[in-house]
Amino acid sequence: MPTDPNKDLLIYVARLMFERRLTDMAGGNISLRQEERIYISPRYSGSRQHWRLEPQDIVVGSIHDEGLLEHPRFSREGKAHLAVYRAFAE
């Protein structure tokens, strides 16, 4: 099964940030934008998963899709990520 390079990059950066103590297990999210899509770490990435993410953990969707807010793994901080991506064109 082919992997998604954007998911792989997000997972790599999340782990690297944790290893270098740029984030901790307290929470927060990281995301990236690829054209009109958002790739974002799921809720509880730090506290429950200790930033050990798998490709299936990453939440992906259109930055314009309000339905993304209903995704069970979409974090409440994701609203801020979406607002930034919507406010600033690529």
Residue 54 gets the label, from left (phi > 0), alpha (psi -120 to 50) or beta, of beta
Helix (H, G, I), strand (E, B) or coil at 22: coil
> How high is the pLDDT of residue 24?
87
Which sequence spans correspond to the domains of the chain?
5-87
Cα(19)–Cα(84) distance, integer angstroms: 26
Task: Round to whole Å and give the CA distance between 14 and 23.
Answer: 9
Q: How far is residue 59's CA from residue 20's CA, in Å, rounded to a whole number?
A: 24
Q: Give the other-Cβ count within 10 Å of 54's Cβ.
A: 9
pLDDT tens figures, 65-85: 999 999 999 999 999 999 999
pLDDT given for residue 1 in this prediction: 66
Helical spans, DSSP H, in the chain: 5-19, 78-87
Residue 2: what pLDDT? 75
pLDDT of 27 reads 74
Residue 60 CA to residue 47 CA, distance in Å, equals 21
Q: Is the model's pLDDT at 90 over the cut of 70?
A: no
Q: What is the pLDDT of residue 86?
A: 94
What's the predicted TM-score (pTM) here? 0.91
CATH superfamily of 5-87: Class II aldolase/adducin N-terminal domain (3.40.225.10)
What does the pLDDT look like over 5-60, one tens digit per residue? Answer: 999 999 999 999 999 999 988 878 999 999 999 999 999 999 999 999 999 999 99
